[in-house]
């Protein structure tokens, strides 16, 4: 792989943006969870858990891409 390809990998950039977006959704969900009680807490907890799983999946996808494509 050419050095210029290492610096500019479109797939990596897209995956990084996905990780950042999913992290923001997760952080926002945790903030809502912290303010929730009762039934609202249960829904907020499910939403936060779903956001955590999405963030972890996006992070793994980015990590796997960088490892296989050597574009880190």
Q: Does residue 2 surpass a pLDDT of 70?
A: no
Contact 55, 47 (CB under 8 A): no
Is pLDDT larger for residue 28 or for residue 1? 28
Q: Does residue 1 surpass a pLDDT of 60?
A: no
pLDDT digits (tens, 9 = 90+) for 28-62: 999 999 999 998 999 999 999 999 999 999 999 99
Q: Does residue 6 surpass a pLDDT of 90?
A: no
* Displacement of CA 3 from its chain's centroid (Å): 27
Asked if residue 5 belongs to a domain, the reply is no
State the total domains in the chain: 1
The model's pTM = 0.84
Q: Which two tokens stand for residue 66?
A: 């960088």
Asked if residue 2 belongs to a domain, the reply is no
What's the domain range around 39? 10-69
């Amino acid at each position: 792989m050419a050095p210029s390809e290492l610096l500019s990998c479109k797939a990596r950039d897209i995956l990084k943006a996905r990780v950042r977006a999913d992290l923001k959704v997760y952080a926002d969900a945790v903030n809502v969870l912290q303010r929730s009680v009762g039934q609202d807490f249960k829904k907020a907890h499910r939403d936060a858990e779903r956001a955590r799983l999405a963030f972890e999946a996006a992070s793994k996808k980015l990590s796997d891409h960088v490892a296989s494509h050597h574009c880190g």
